[in-house]
Structure formats: C-alpha cells, structure tokens
Amino acid sequence: MVYSEKVIDHFANPRNVGEIENADGIGEVGNSKCGDIMKMYIKVEDNTIADVKFKTFGCGAAIATSSMATELIKGKTIDDALQLTNKAVMEALDGLPPVKVHCSVLAEEAIKAAVSDYYKKQGVDPEVIVG
C-alpha cells in the first residue's frame, strides 16, 4: 500500500488534534466498516468556523483525512464547511489507497454531525440545513 507524502505528513503531525472546551458543536461518528470512532469540536463565530479540533480512535488514514479536513474548514463559513466532501479531502492529500477511502468518510460525517449539533443548540432544525 502506498501513501502520499501528504498523507504521511498529516498522519505523523496531525493538525488540530484535541478538544475545544465549551465547543459550540460536537459531532461523534463511527465507521460501520471498521468500528473506528471520531469526535469533532467546532467553535463558531459570525457563521464561520473559528476553531476546530478532533480526536479519533481510528487508523492512520482517518487521522490524516481528519487533520486535512480541519485545515480545510478552519476560517470558512458553515456553508462552505458543509460542502466539503471526502473526495475533496482525499484530493488535497494527493489520494488514498482504494481500501482506505472509507476512512475519509469519517471526517466529512464528523463535520456534518458537529454542525448539526451546533444548529440544535441554536434551536434550529438541522435536518433543514444539513440534510
């Protein structure tokens, strides 16, 4: 299995690992294929992802994709963050081996779950926005 240099870099030096105290939204998702778990924390200011952190009990590809995903949504509007697909994250990492594609879904789903949680806390029905 061959990993790109970017994947190896983000696995070895993951960005934005940790928790946010008093996060505005927390999303926890599990991967049904392998049982790995990811937790994503967001801080929202002016409809923008002011800060994001993640923790994962998952494989190297899950760590690398989450690290890249947090970099891609930090400072973006919530709408832009919701548009982020696992495909875009993989492209930003110069690809993943096919058997590891399912790992990248965790990050996308964790972002959506964190935003849903944020909307719920705001009293907004997330179904309408996050879908």
Backbone angles phi, psi at 57, to 5 degrees: -105, 80
Kindly indicate which of the ranges 1-9, 15-23, 31-39, 71-79 contains the residues binding ligand FES, using the contact rule CB under 6 A: 31-39
CA-CA distance, 14 to 68, in Å (whole number)? 8
Kindly indicate which of the ranges 3-11, 44-52, 58-66, 77-85 contains the residues binding ligand FES, using the contact rule CB under 6 A: 58-66
Active site annotation includes 59: no
Q: How far is CA 27 from CA 34, 46, 61, 95, in A?
A: 18, 20, 19, 25
CB of 95 to ligand FES, least distance (A): 15
Angle at 76 between CA 10 and CA 94, to 5 degrees: 30
Active site annotation includes 103: yes
Residue 96 in contact with ligand FES, rule: CB under 6 A: no
Residue 40 in contact with ligand FES, rule: CB under 6 A: no
Determine how β-strand 25-30 pairs with β-strand 37-45. Answer: antiparallel
Which residues have a Cβ under 8 Å from the Cβ of 57 and sit 6 or more positions away?
36, 37, 38
Write down the catalytic residue from 12, 34, 50, 99: 34
Residue 58 in contact with ligand FES, rule: CB under 6 A: yes
Write down the catalytic residue from 63, 103, 113, 130: 103
For ligand FES, the closer of residues 101 and 129 by Cβ is 101
Residue 34 in contact with ligand FES, rule: CB under 6 A: yes
Q: Are 106 and 65 in contact (CB under 8 A)?
A: yes
Residue 59 in contact with ligand FES, rule: CB under 6 A: yes
